[in-house]
Amino acid sequence: MMAAFKQTLRGRLKLNEPMARHTSWRVGGPADRYYEPANLDDLAEFLAQQNSDEPIMWLGLGSNLLVRDGGIRGSVIITSGLLNKIECLDDGSVRAEAGVTCAKVARFCARQQLIGVEFLAGIPGTMGGALAMNAGAFGGETWQHIAAVETIDHQGRRQLRQPKEFEVAYRRVKGLPGEWFVAAYLNLRRGDSNMATARIKELLEKRNTSQPIGLPSCGSVFRNPDADYAARLIEASGLKGRCMGGACVSDKHANFIINNGNATAADIEALIEYVAAEVESQQGVKLIREVHIVGELA
């Protein structure tokens, strides 16, 4: 149920906004409401004005996400490019808001001679998403470096939470119901800025060589199973290049599904299900999706 929003809001509200404009797969039906907050205070006011039963979805860069063709009921709140403050605090920790890209965090920390999060440069998302799923790349994981997080609830109230208040596992974080991440505090060690920058460059070159950068995808579709790789299992099942409609398994990296330009969300979801079924049939391994599927069928 839509709230009657007051004029005190400073952000921008759009109605029936096509999510295909905001997801890295370039697919997805319309969101009932799409809000771009001016800052954290404005976000708090927007949430406080919502009806208590209003569904809320958070969006960063739109990676690791498949929005179905029927779109999203409720409100989508965009953080990328808006909640984008990052700073070094007096105690040496780094505070990054949810809309700051992971790559920007990696580069910022390197410039501050703080090391350990160079792997973030390989994650095509924002800190909000990285917190929500314990995102990782090249052997590193987000929550290994979290000292505290800021959350916000449906009434717009903000809290400072400690890592012990969350259940953190591989690509999964279970937090407090009704609270969402709005900022992270990173506890890092001092190190060589030049070496950290060189490591970031090395990881980006490795990613660009092995992944289909520049084509519409969501990043990795499936989690890696224990002691194996989803891409290897998919390739071993003869699925590289397999297509359904405009969606195809990448010829470059089998754990990526590409939108060739005319894919629907239904094409992509059907291909995900087909790949998982074939790998289980041929390799005896049940792949678990890393990508989140949201919204309604057309």
Question: Which residues are marked as active site?
Answer: 171, 220, 290
**CB-based contacts of 258: which residues, under 8 Å, 6+ apart?**
212, 215, 216, 217, 247, 248, 249, 250
**69: DSSP letter:** T
Rounded CA separation 242/261 (Å): 15
Rounded CA separation 76/135 (Å): 21
CA distances in angstroms from 126 to 10, 58, 83, listed in the order given: 23, 11, 10
Rounded CA separation 259/67 (Å): 13
Rounded CA separation 30/15 (Å): 8
State the pairing for strand pair 114-115/86-88: unpaired
